[in-house]
């Protein structure tokens, strides 16, 4: 019996056809087959005073690239733009029954709750007595200043309006160097503008801009008028409040700074709840540990202790090196001030210190830190 063999080139053609058919079936299944059950939507986080929207997590890189290959950043820009407003602040001192020396400043703001709360920069409202906001729909309404925090350059306004679209807050830990971000605001009063760039750095401090600094640095174009506007990710979620630029000309030079959403959220919640921000105070001055010795550890060296302060009552001494607060490592003097300030006045705090080579724990009941205005008085 003779068995007819199939030529090798025909076998290869059959194999190729089978692969093509299989791939087609797979594409059809994905396109028209039963959809994967969607994940449960993130519930809006309920705070003590105000409810804000929070993202349930960041999109995968693959879905991000595939979803925006043809549409650019239009979805994120449209979503964020619906929550960004123009803020007008006017200082109008009265003189002889009429107004003189009117001073009008323009900035931006972000709608953070449907109740009409708007987050902006303190320097946008500083020294002003009247405020108005132009909403994304073009309507201009009066605004009330709820509170300011010069230490972080943040402030909260309140408007009486309906159909507001609050922004969605990004996961505070989601921002990474290299992420693409969009800056939304009203630079030079030309109208709402969207620019894009990347996160150039995080944790920027010691810039001399604010008392408490933890900036996101970005090369997205930020110019005068962008202050108080939104820095968002590719899903349109808020990652920061645009606050400052580094510039020798007064315009954009590729270095902008935004207050991260983690800090902005804490300040905003306190202003809405109490009209101010209360911070813990230890009453000491410190400097960084000198790193000349390769074996030296991080920490903050106590240089001065105010009489009667929580630090003195806790038993701290000049020369002590603070290395931890409530179990969290203290890297330097800035970290000591910032981490202490994050705690509420009256709370108990455990400081781990090194004194003459011996490690010990000291308990302190924190006082209330005075803000810049209180210090000037």
The secondary element (H helix, E strand) that includes residue 199 is: strand 193-204
Provide the token pair at 189: 């009063």
Residue 27 confidence (pLDDT) above 70: no
pLDDT the model gives residue 29: 44
Please give the backbone phi and psi of residue 172, each rounded to the nearest 5 degrees, phi first.
Answer: -60, -25
Name the band, by pLDDT with cuts 50, 70 and 90, for residue 217: very high
pLDDT the model gives residue 254: 81
Where is pLDDT greater, at 44 or 216? 216
CATH class, 49-277 region: mainly beta
Cα separations (Å) of 255 from 194, 219, 220, 222? 16, 5, 8, 8
Provide the token pair at 333: 């003097």
What digits encode the pLDDT tens for the residues 132-151?
999 999 999 999 999 999 99
pLDDT the model gives residue 95: 58
State mean pLDDT over 34-46.
41
Name the band, by pLDDT with cuts 50, 70 and 90, for residue 205: confident
Please give the backbone phi and psi of residue 226, each rounded to the nearest 5 degrees, phi first.
Answer: -75, -15
Helices (H), ranges, 91-182: 122-125
What digits encode the pLDDT tens for the residues 6-25?
344 444 454 445 545 554 54
Largest Cα span, the chain:
121
Q: Where are the domains of the chain?
A: 49-277, 280-371
What does the chain come to in residues?
Answer: 377
CA 87 to chain centroid: 19
Where is pLDDT greater, at 291 or 364? 364
Instruction: Give strand ranges (E) for 55-192.
Output: 84-91, 94-95, 98-99, 103-113, 117-120, 130-134, 140-149, 154-159, 168-169, 180-185
Architecture of domain 280-371 in CATH?
Roll (2.30)
State mean pLDDT over 65-86.
81
pLDDT the model gives residue 22: 52
Residue 30 confidence (pLDDT) above 60: no
pLDDT the model gives residue 92: 65
Helices (H), ranges, 33-121: 61-68, 74-81
pLDDT the model gives residue 42: 38
What digits encode the pLDDT tens for the residues 338-369?
999 999 999 999 999 999 999 999 999 999 99
pLDDT the model gives residue 39: 43
- Catalytic positions, please? 123, 153, 227
State mean pLDDT over 272-276.
92
Q: Say what the pTM is.
A: 0.74
Calpha distance 70→80 (Å, rounded): 19
């Amino acid at each position: 019996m003779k068995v007819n063999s199939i030529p090798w080139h025909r076998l290869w053609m059959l194999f190729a056809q089978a692969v093509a058919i299989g791939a087609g079936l797979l594409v059809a299944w994905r396109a028209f087959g039963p959809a994967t059950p969607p994940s449960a939507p993130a519930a809006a986080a309920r705070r003590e005073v105000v409810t804000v929207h929070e993202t349930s997590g960041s999109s995968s890189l693959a879905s991000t690239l595939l979803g925006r290959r043809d549409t650019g950043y239009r979805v994120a820009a449209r979503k964020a733009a619906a929550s960004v407003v123009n803020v007008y602040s006017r200082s109008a001192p009265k003189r002889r029954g009429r107004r003189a020396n009117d001073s009008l400043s323009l900035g931006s703001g972000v709608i953070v709750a449907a109740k009409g709360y708007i987050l902006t920069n303190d320097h946008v409202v500083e020294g002003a007595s009247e405020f108005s906001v132009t909403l994304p729909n073009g309507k201009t309404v009066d605004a009330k200043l709820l509170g300011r925090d010069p230490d972080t350059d943040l402030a909260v306004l309140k408007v009486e309006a309906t159909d507001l679209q609050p922004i969605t807050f990004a996961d505070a830990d989601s921002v990474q160097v290299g992420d693409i971000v969009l800056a939304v605001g009203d630079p030079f009063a030309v109208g709402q503008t969207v620019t894009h760039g990347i996160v150039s750095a995080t944790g920027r401090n010691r810039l001399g801009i604010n008392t408490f600094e933890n900036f996101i640095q970005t090369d997205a174009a930020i110019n005068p008028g962008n202050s108080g506007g939104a820095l968002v990710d590719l899903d349109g979620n808020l990652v920061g409040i645009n606050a400052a630029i580094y510039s020798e000309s007064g315009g954009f030079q590729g270095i902008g700074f935004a207050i991260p959403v983690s800090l902005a959220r804490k300040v905003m919640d306190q202003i809405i709840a109490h009209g101010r921000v209360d911070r813990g105070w230890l009453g000491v001055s410190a400097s960084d540990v000198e790193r000349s010795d390769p074996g030296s550890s991080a920490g903050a060296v106590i240089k001065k202790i105010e009489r009667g302060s929580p630090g003195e009552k806790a038993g701290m001494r000049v020369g002590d090196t603070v290395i931890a607060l409530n179990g969290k490592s203290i890297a330097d003097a800035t970290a000591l001030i910032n981490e202490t300030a994050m705690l509420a006045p009256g709370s108990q705090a455990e400081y781990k210190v090194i004194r003459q080579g011996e490690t010990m724990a000291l308990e302190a009941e924190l006082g209330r830190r005075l803000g810049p205005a209180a210090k000037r008085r």
